Amino acid sequence: MLARGRVSAVDSLDEVARQVATCRLCPLSKTRTNAVPGEGPGDAKVMFVGEAPGYSEDVQGRPFVGLAGQLLGELLESIGIERGDVFITNVVKCRPPNNRPPRVSERNACMPYLERQIKLIRPSIICPMGNSALSALVGRRSVGEAHGKAIEKGGVLYVPLYHPAAALYDASLRGVLFEDFKALKILIGKR
Ligand code: SF4
């Protein structure tokens, strides 16, 4: 088995997914139903990264298939992008019990899988969704301040967005998300 986070000549998204499916590197392995490695084309231009799987994702083993996922689908549709054209994943690949925020130790244990996915896909644009993904990928803490503003880092454009789940609890964020997706469409067109 490859060491986590180590990319060898034989590494692939399938290999990452296989390792995630049987991973026991943090305590979330004991409570998950299914690990959720993420899905999308290996040459996706755009990656969306959330915090962690929720209930529906844990049951199905697929990312963003609950209500937040439905909203993500609507947002993508609003700018003419099909879900199957982008890669969708999370910082932490297993559901924390009762959807509590992942612990720093869990995030650190899981982060090498995301780093390998990014290395393999080499997207032009990565959209961290929510504070947790923003902090893990860009080192900033407040998506309220950073959303919709592109940040260039290591040749990749990061476009922070509110997590769609946030808009399920605060309806005012729904409009903000649709506006940020319009801006994202323009940025995608330029890359
Ligand atoms: S959350 Fe990540 S590190 Fe923890 S068991 Fe799941 S795949 Fe492994």
> Could you tell me if residue 97 is left (phi over 0), alpha (psi between -120 and 50 degrees) or otherwise beta?
beta
pLDDT score, position 1 = 37
Q: Quickly name the fold that domain 13-190 has.
A: Uracil-DNA Glycosylase, subunit E (3.40.470)
Which atom of ligand 1 lies closest to the CA of 109? 3
Residue ranges in the chain whose pLDDT is less than 70: 1-9
Looking at ligand 1, which residue's alpha carbon is closest to its atom 3?
110
CA of 21 to the centre of ligand 1 (A): 9
- pLDDT, tens only, 71-96: 999 999 999 999 999 999 999 999 99
Q: Where are the domains of the chain?
A: 13-190
CA–CA distance, 62 with 33 (Å, rounded to integer):
11
pTM of the model: 0.94
* 160 C-alpha to ligand 1 centroid (Å): 24
Return d(Cα 11, Cα 59) in angstroms, integer. Answer: 27
Please tell me the predicted confidence (pLDDT) of residue 8.
57
Whole-number Å distance between alpha carbons of 171 and 151 = 26
